Every structure is written in C-alpha cells, then in structure tokens.
Amino acid sequence: MEYYKLCKLDETIPLKKQNPFAPKHPFRLLVAGTSESGKTSMVVHLLLESKYPKIYPWMSGEKCGHKIPKGGSKNFGERYIPCDDLIVVAQHQDEELWEAVQCFYEFIAMDKQAPWYKNMRFKLIMSEELPDISSFKRTGRFTVIVFDDLAGEPLATQLKIISFFR
C-alpha cells in the first residue's frame, strides 16, 4: 500500500491529484519530537514543498534578467499545505528557517505580474501577540498557524493556545 509518493524536483502533482493523506482545511496537525529532531524543518517543507527550489533562483537574483518560462504558475511547483496567511507563533524569533519562509512569502506576493504570484501573507509573532481565535472565522482566506517551541511557556499562554485545538 502506497501512502506517499516522492517526486523529482522538476515534477509537480496537480492539486486535484494531491496525496489523499495531505491535510485539507480546516485541520489540526501536531508535530512532536525531541530537541533538534527536525520538526521545524519538516513543517517548513510542508509549507514550501517544490515551489521554493523552483522560484529561489529568481528570488536570489541568480536568474535576474532571465526570461521567465511560460505556462503560468504550474512550472513553479506546488505546496503540500497551501494557505493564504501563515502566522508563526514562535519563542525564538531569530530562527533562520522562518526568516527564509518570510522572504519566500514576501517574494511570491511582491509582483502581481509574475507567474508565481499568490496573495500570501506571513507574520512572525510572539505568544503574547496571539489574537483571539474568533478573528480567523469567515475571513475568506485560509490561515495556517504554527506554534513553534512553546511547550515551556507559562500557563496563561498555554490556555490561549488550547482554544486553537478544540
């Protein structure tokens, strides 16, 4: 029985043929493991998937001035967890992986004429800044909230987070 399919970097799976085990909105996903086990890296991979390596050459300036391939956004990969808004609630605000994700989301949303354009927003916040869960209802946008490394936060913070898992 095949649960997942590995693809070459230059292949994409259309959203209609997406892995049936990939989460669909709304969903809750818990990633647990020991320190330094790659939990954040795994979540970042789910959020960026094959889009990042295909768009990075333009993002870094490596292909600045090169002609952008025709065919729309299909040539620029897919994401396992597509979302309009990504909010990362993190204890460590200087995490390099989240900085890379932020740069990527800002680049994707920068130029409406680019074939990879998506109206996506990224926000990195401290747990004290976490809005009430009701502010996410009926916005017409898919929002993913990542709680990163908050297990040791005070009880008041934990109680605020619990409402997102009910």
Q: What are 15-43's pLDDT values in tens digits? A: 455 556 666 767 777 888 888 888 888 88
pTM: 0.76
* pLDDT average, residue stretch 144-159: 88
Which residues partner with 125 through β-bridges? 89
In this prediction, residue 22 carries a pLDDT of 64
Q: Given a cut of 50, is residue 137 above it in pLDDT?
A: yes
